[in-house]
Each structure stands twice: as structure tokens, then as C-alpha cells.
Chain A
């Protein structure tokens, strides 16, 4: 069976990761400082290894009352630094999901125009609280983000600590096995956040290795102080 010719422009498909970070006022202090300390380590671990960087694209989205793209989806090897994130406001899940949908669609179109092929994007959702917006509003936004009719709908890994709710996180990750994690009771955010960020780095590194096998897999982070939220069978 013949195939089209292979030339220098044919590259490996890329695996996009979006870090979607809760920066509401409750994240102030140690949690957000922990994130800001770990982001440069994440950039170095991925960006300084050409074999990882060339198949991973990484972006950072923050949300509180509003959602912002702090780091546009990029090849981390050509970014000099990841900007620090600051806190303030409430915890509006709805604006985060709407912003993610718009961002993913725009990034996908830009990447396609540049000749990149994508694996299904992954969203790493981190929150220390429960949504402060109307449940109907954030659930509608979430439904738009994970709509199976939208070809770019991402896989979501949800992580919670502080006053985050396990049931809500399971809902965010579409109740899929090994996709939602909650901090163990009594675990300090000062301990959880660095572990979570280190786990995220190893998750991205492991996921990048699977890209080369021709079938990318989203490898969930292994975080010692967090437990996977159990998911029920539907039958």
C-alpha cells in the first residue's frame, strides 16, 4: 500500500498540556508560592530536554473571577521563563471552562496552520476550593468543554486540596477512573503543592515517551499525599 512521501516537514504529533490553576484568594501564601517555585523547574525539566520538548506543548491558564492565559501554549524549549501567577478573587469554574474551550480551539487552529498535528489535549485542573459560581452556569460551561461533538474536547485530570470537594472534582474529570485526585485528610498545602507539581513533571515526561510509540497515553501523576477519587461503574 503506497503512502505519501515523507519529508523534513513531517514532524511527530504534539501532545498539548494545559495547566488550569485556581488563583482565587484562598490560594494566597504557601500554595501559590509553591506553584511559582515549581514552574521554573517544570520549564527546565521539559524544555531543556529536546526529546521531551519537541513532542510536548504547554500552556498555563489561571482562573478566579476571570480566567487568563498566563502562558500561551508553547514549546517550552523556546520560552525563557514561565511568568509568576498572583492570587485574588473568587473561584469561578465556569469562566475557566469557557476560557479553556476558546483557547484550545484557537491554539489548535494556529498549530494546524503551522503544520503541527495534535493528540487530544490534556487539562490539569488544580483547585483548593469549591466553585463559587452558580452550579448550572459552571456545569453548562463544563459540558461545552467536554462536549463529545467538539473534536478537540480535552481529557481532564482534576486535583483538589484545601476545601475542594471530591464529588465536584470527579464531575470535572467526567467521572473517569484515575482522573480525579483529592489530598489526604490533614495534608498541608505546603506539602501537597510541590508534590503535585513534581508529579505533573513526571506525568508529562512519561506521556512524552508514549508519543514516540505512536499512541500517546495520558499518564496520571503519582502524588504521595493524594488519593484517586473512586469512580462508580455505570452498569
Chain B
């Protein structure tokens, strides 16, 4: 098989998807990590050359490249999903007759997976942007990111679940093994999408769960690692399941949730996950909803083999998004991952062996709680000499008042938006009407206070 759509460097392609290092037109250095350097190719804008710092067994890399070819034959739709959402290697770069690979040719992440800060420079849209208070990211980088529990965030988790379903559902099953913030890019340009990079870290697993290739150390990134994996050991099939649950927790909840240290100490972890009031009454998000058991089982270190698979995640997230009225989000994910028209959705089939009713293992508990205003307020600080600023103490009450005023404004806006949504939701008109009446009283009271302030304070200044 020839390297797809080849020219230039592609002339060097061999029939078995292999290219000699000396025939590549290697361009500028794009990035450097612990395991390799990524270069542009002067004659291929859609591919990059990942050069390994320490050469890797060629056979393991060949197996990865061939895996997607096999899936293309057996299940073209799943292969399309993998191609659209990952930088899956397209060719092995050989260096002479050695059994070692010098690197890989991998697709370059499309432009939509980049963000621009205030300085205008493009940067990879890593998950790090989504794992903290969106207010901080707005103040720091000028980015308008969706709030916690927004369908867009759920859609990103859903897109990742569908990709992992395609990887893990194939034979042999593929497990990335290092789904860290830096390795999962995201975009909302065409609806929620993910793009997983560093796929050379992937291992293929046979039907009995043993790795197809051996002897390759596959480290996980600290803070995104699976605490069930012993130090020095490589992640297994269940580690991607842990990563999916952790990514859901951190990006949908928009917070750090640093739980691994507790888990390594053998502590029981109880997680308070903030869900807005209206959504907490939906069957898919209330206290007994399957979603919370799914997260708890996914994060469990007591029974890693019982962690829910990506198909189960897809199924549950579809229910959540549907109940939130975000069916458009589902259609956008399907369209982006399989290139199908919006009118022809391909929903995930129910999981092969539904295990939603399974009891949680008991080492992780997740419960939905009411959101509380975050204590930290963010704004761009014009740097100044701290010892020249004596007004800090006096300014503190003003800052607190301003913060609470902002909270009140945000509450007002969210309450009205929720009321309107409820009012137009099928079967929930009565609840919407009740909210509308309540908000009418609130708005009337606000109008009275405003009128009073104008009459007592502003009017005298105007001589009225």
C-alpha cells in the first residue's frame, strides 16, 4: 500500500508504509518532548515527522500503522472516526536496515485545534484550558469558554468516548495509554471535537487482554496517570477507561479534582460535582442517575477491570445531552467524526452488556451538588510595585462588593435563561410558568429599588 496521496517525500514510500529517513524533506522543529521531536515536512503540509529520541522497535510501529488499515477493511465507519479524531501514524520512518524505527509520519492537527491568546499566536488547544474556572481563562487569555456542565463540554467528553469506543472495540483492541491534557486537543468550531495526539504510545491488545507487542515502556503523564498501575509498569486496557472518567470529571466540572494522591494512599474519594439546579432534577443528572455511578466505577482503583467501557459512556452521555435538549450537539459530533450529513445521525448502539445497575466498587463516590460561586475572582493585573500600593487594604471591600455584584448579575442572567428554556421545553411549561412568575416578582423588586435610588440619590444632583 502506498502512502496516501503521495508526492515528494511520498516518493520515498514503500509498499508496506515505510519511508527512509534520508528521503524526507524535514523542515522546522515544531515541538520537543521527552520522547521525541516533531518537525514539519517541506513538501507535505498535512503530515509531520515525529523523530524518536530513542529509536523504537520497528515491528511495534508497523503493527500500529497496519492496524488502521485492517480496521478500514473490517469497519470503514470506525476507521473514519479514528482518522477524524486522532493523529494515527500513517508511515514508519526507517533508518537503514536496522530493526529500529527512527520515527513516524503522523497527520498534523487541523488548524481548528488551535487557540489564539491576546497576543494572536496560535497554540494547541489542550485540555488544560478546560480544567479550571472559565473566568480565569477569560481573564488570562481572553478566551470565552463554555461554563461547567455546558453541553459543549459534555460534547467533548462524548466525542472522546466515541473515539475510544472505536479504538477499544476493534480487534486487536487499541489503547492509547496516555490520555493527558497535552495529548487530547479539542475544538468547538464545528461543534465539539477531540483530536488525540502522541498515538505512537498506543498498545494493541489481543482478545485475552495481553499486549501484542512487548518490551516497550509506555509512561503516563503525572496527574493524568492511572493510580491502579504500579510505578514503572505500563498502562493496560483499563487505563484508558480511567482516563475517560478523569477527563469527564475535570473538563465538564471545569476544575482540577486532584484525586490521584488520595487514591494511591488507599483513601476513599468522595467527589462533589456541581450541577445547576434545573439540570439536577433531570433523570439523567439527579442523585440516582447512572452517570454518577459511571464516573465512580471509571475512577475506581479497587476493581480496574470493572471500569465501564467507552460504549457505555457514549450511551449515558447521549441520554444526558438529549435531556438537556442538546441533540444538535450530538449531531455535530456524529457529523465531525464520520463525515455524515447532519440529517443522518448514527447514534451509538446501547452497550453490549449494560452494566449501569452494577454497584459502585466503594472506593469512589460522586454526587451532584448545587454550584457555589468560586472564591477566586480573576482579572488582568497591571503589574506594579507592591510596596507603592498602599491602597490595597482600602480597595478590598470594593473588590468584594464588585465580586458579589457580578455573581448577582450572573445569577440573574442564568435564572432568566433557564426560565425561558424551561418555558419552551415540551412537557415542562408549568414549571417554566412558575419560574416566570417568581422572576417577575424579582424584576419588579429590582425595578422598585432602582427607582428609589434614582429618586433619592441621582435626582438631587440633577436638580430635580
Q: What residues of chain A have their CB less than 8 Å away from a CB belonging to chain B?
A: 1-12, 44, 47-51, 53-54, 68-72, 74-75, 77-83, 103, 114-115, 209-210, 212-214
Contacts and interface: CB of A to CB of B under 8 A. Distances in A.
A71 B383 contact: yes
A10 B270 contact: no
Contacts of A50: 126, 128-129, 132, 137, 140-141
B9 interface: no
Mostly, the B contact residues are loop
Contact of A47 (B140, B148, B257, B385): B140
Contacts of B133: 8
Given A78-B379, A78-B380, A3 B137 contact: no
Contacts of A5: 270-272
A69 B388 CA distance: 9
Given A51-B128, A77-B141, A1 B267 contact: yes
Contacts of B189: none
A54 B132 contact: yes
Contacts of B380: 78-80
A80 B132 CA distance: 20
A44 B141 CA distance: 11
Most chain B CB inside 10 Å of its own CB: which residue of A8, A70, A79, A209: A8
Given A80-B381, A214-B222, A8 B265 contact: no
Given A10-B255, A80-B380, 15 more contacts: A1-B267, A2-B267, A7-B369, A9-B375, A10-B257, A10-B258, A12-B256, A50-B132, A74-B381, A77-B140, A77-B141, A78-B378, A78-B381, A79-B383, A212-B222
A57 to B, nearest CB: 13
Interface residues of B, number: 54
A126 B221 CA distance: 33
Contacts of B265: 1
A192 B328 CA distance: 58
17 contacts: A2-B268, A6-B262, A7-B271, A8-B257, A9-B372, A12-B256, A48-B141, A51-B126, A53-B140, A71-B383, A77-B141, A78-B139, A80-B381, A81-B383, A83-B383, A114-B376, A214-B222
Contacts of A75: 140
B272 A6 contact: yes
Given A2-B270, A214-B261, A79 B381 contact: yes
B387 A69 contact: yes
B253 interface: yes
A114 B375 contact: yes
Interface in B235-253: 253
A96 to B, nearest CB: 14
B119 A48 contact: yes
The 6 A-B residue pairs whose C-beta atoms are closest, nearest first, are: A212-B223, A72-B386, A77-B140, A213-B222, A8-B255, A3-B267
A6 B258 contact: yes
B20 interface: no
Contacts of B148: 8
A1 B266 contact: yes
Interface in B137-152: 137, 139-141, 148
B260 interface: yes
